[in-house]
Amino acid sequence: MIRAFILILVLIATPLAAETRVPQSAAEISLGFAPLVKKAAPAVVNIYAKQIVQVRSRSPLMNDPFFQEFFQGFGQPRPQVQNSLGSGVVLSADGLMVTNYHVVADATEIRAVLNDRREFDARVLLADEESDLAILQLDGASEMPFIPLRDSESVEVGELVLAIGNPFGVGQTVTSGIVSGLARSGTASGSSRGYFIQTDAPINPGNSGGALIDVNGALIGINTRILTRSGGSNGIGFAIPSALVQRFVEQARAGQSRFQRPWAGMNGQPVDTDIAESLGLETPRGLVISDIHAVSPFLAAGFRPGDVIEAVGGQPVNTPDEMVFRMTVAGLGNTVSVTRVRNGVAEQVEVALIPAPNSPPRDVVVTGHRSAIPEMELWTINPAVLAELGLPLSIEGAVIGDPGPAGTRAGLKRGDVLRAINGVAVSTSRDAERALETAGRNLTLDIQRGTQRVVMRFRL
C-alpha cells in the first residue's frame, strides 16, 4: 500500500517538474514543449505596419479586353492606407528587434504588440531588401524579454526546432519540426536572396519575421519564406540564419542605416562536370572565377580567372550566393581563409574583407534646365556603384541614379548606363552632363540595361 502511494506521488510530480524548466533530454522533450514556449514566446511580437500608397480610380471599362488598353493610368492617383501583418523577435533587453524587410518596407507607422498585450511604437534602424532583414528599436522599451542568438554555423540537419509567429493574424502560434536542410540558396520566393536554413515546421503568411528556435530556446533563424504551389505551408519553409542576423545587429548598434557587405569584386560560376574535367578536378565542387575587378581584394590576394574557390572560412561554397554569405558572416574589416585550387593544388589564402570602394567619387550630378533631359541624376561608376546597382564588373559609362520626370517619360530607368551620347563615348557623370547640354535637336543615347544594349533616338 505504501509502495503504491509513493508511485502515485512520483507520477504526479514528474509533469509538474517538466513545466518549470526547459527540456534537457530526449525523455523530457517527449513530455512536451510547454516550458520552452513559456521561455521564448514573450520575446516574439506581432507587428502591424501601415504605409501610404498611391492608387488610381478604376473605370468599369478596365475589365473590357478592347477598352482596357485605352484606360491605363485612368483617373487621378489618390493616397490609400495599406496594412501589413508580420512577426518580430526581441533580441535584447533594451528593445532591439529583428523582422523581415518586407514586413516593414516603406511603412509610415509600425506598432509591435507583445503577447502580454503591451504595445510599442517601433522605428527602423537598419533595413536591407536583398537579405530581407530589418533591425528595429522599440521606443521606450526596457527590461524586455528577449531570445539569445545561437551561432547558426553549429546547426545540424535533424535538430528539433520550433517556429513562433502570428500566421494569418490568428494570434501567436507555435509549430514544431526539424531542420531538414542547410545551405539552401535561391530557393525561396520573394525579395530575399542568399542562404537559408530549411525546416519542415509549418510556416504560413504572418509568420514572416518570427523566430525559429532550438530546444534550448536560442534563436537560430528568422522565418522568411515558404516553397509552395497552393499558398499554404507544404513542409518546406526557410529561415535566415542567425549568423547573418548577428552582423545586422552589430551594424545597427554601430549607427549604420544601410547594411554593408564585404565586396568580392569578381564573378564566378559553379563547377559542373565538364568544368571539373577540364580543370583536372576529381569531382565537381566549388566555383571557378570568370572575371575579376582591378581593385578586387581577391586580386590583391593573388587570385586570377580560372582559379577555383572551394571553401570560405572552412565552409564549402558551391554558388556565388554561398560565397557572399560566408564572407558576410565573417565580418567586415576581418580577413578570411579561402581555399583556392590552381592546377590541381589546393592552398589556403587570406583575403581581406572590405566594403566596395567608393573611389573614384561617384560625383553625383543633376542635369539643369538647359539639358536635353533635365532633372536627371547621374553618377560616375565606381566599385560601390557596381555593387549597389548590380552592374557588370567591366561596365563603363555614366549611370542613371534617378531618371527624373522627363527621363521617366522618355523610358529611362535607374541603373541604365549611358555609354555614348550622340555617338560620343562618356565615362563620367560630368561627360554625360556636358553631352546632354550640347545635344541639339537630335538626341541618340547608347544605353546598357542589364545584359542588353539599347539605342534610343529622340527629336527635341
Confidence band for 354, pLDDT divided at 50, 70 and 90: very high
Contact 225, 188 (CB under 8 A): yes
Rounded to 5°, the CA angle 44-119-151 comes to 25
First to last CA, the chain: 105
Residue 412 is inside which H or E element, if any? none
Of 444, 420, 447, 448, nearest to 432 by C-alpha is: 420
pLDDT tens-digit map of 131-157 = 899 999 999 988 999 999 999 988 999
Whether residue 335 is predicted with pLDDT greater than 80 in this model: the reply is yes
> How far is 426 from 419, CA to CA, in rounded Å?
6
403 C-beta neighbours (distance < 10 Å), count: 21
Q: Is 361 left (phi over 0), alpha (psi -120 to 50) or beta?
A: beta
The 3-class SS string of 31-54 reads: CCCHHHHHHHHHHEEEEEEEEEEE
Rounded to 5°, the CA angle 14-20-26 comes to 60
Radius of gyration of the chain (CA): 27
Rounded to 5°, the CA angle 143-144-148 comes to 115
pTM of the model: 0.79
Catalytic site includes residue 369: no
Confidence band for 15, pLDDT divided at 50, 70 and 90: very low
Rounded to 5°, the CA angle 301-293-397 comes to 160
Mean pLDDT on 336-361: 94
Catalytic site includes residue 102: yes
pLDDT of residue 76: 55
Confidence band for 13, pLDDT divided at 50, 70 and 90: very low
pLDDT of residue 341: 94
Confidence band for 35, pLDDT divided at 50, 70 and 90: confident
Contact 400, 411 (CB under 8 A): no
Confidence band for 279, pLDDT divided at 50, 70 and 90: confident
Which three-class secondary structure state does DSSP give residue 371? coil
Q: Is 411 left (phi over 0), alpha (psi -120 to 50) or beta?
A: left
- Please pick, among 87, 102, 192, 214, the residue that the annotation labels catalytic: 102
Which three-class secondary structure state does DSSP give residue 396? coil
More confident position, 22 or 386: 386
Whether residue 90 is predicted with pLDDT greater than 90 in this model: the reply is yes
Q: Look-up: residue for cell 547621374?
A: 378
pLDDT tens-digit map of 163-182 = 998 876 667 888 899 998 88
Length of the chain: 460
Contact 62, 55 (CB under 8 A): no
> How far is 218 from 174, CA to CA, in rounded Å?
15
- Please pick, among 132, 214, 307, 431, the residue that the annotation labels catalytic: 132
pLDDT of residue 151: 92
Whether residue 281 is predicted with pLDDT greater than 70 in this model: the reply is yes
pLDDT of residue 185: 64
Mean pLDDT on 105-134: 91
pLDDT of residue 201: 87
Which three-class secondary structure state does DSSP give residue 238? strand
Of 289, 293, 294, 323, nearest to 305 by C-alpha is: 289
pLDDT of residue 289: 95
- Residue 443 sits at φ, ψ, to 5 deg, of -130, 125
The percentage of the chain sitting over the pLDDT mark of 90, rounded to a whole number, equals 60
pLDDT of residue 29: 58
Of 358, 122, 382, 153, nearest to 247 by C-alpha is: 153
Residues 6+ apart with CB under 8 A from 243: 151, 152, 153, 329
Which three-class secondary structure state does DSSP give residue 33? coil
Domains for the chain: give ranges and CATH numbers: 41-57+78-138 (2.40.10.10), 152-253 (2.40.10.10), 266-352 (2.30.42.10), 365-459 (2.30.42.60)
Whether residue 20 is predicted with pLDDT greater than 50 in this model: the reply is no
- Please pick, among 180, 192, 208, 296, the residue that the annotation labels catalytic: 208
Of 214, 148, 209, 202, nearest to 174 by C-alpha is: 202
Which three-class secondary structure state does DSSP give residue 154? helix
Q: Which of 11-20, 250-259, 309-318, 328-337 has the lowest mean pLDDT?
A: 11-20
What does the DSSP assignment read for 309-345?
A: EEEETTEE--SHHHHHHHHHHH-TTSEEEEEEEETTE
Residue type, 178: I
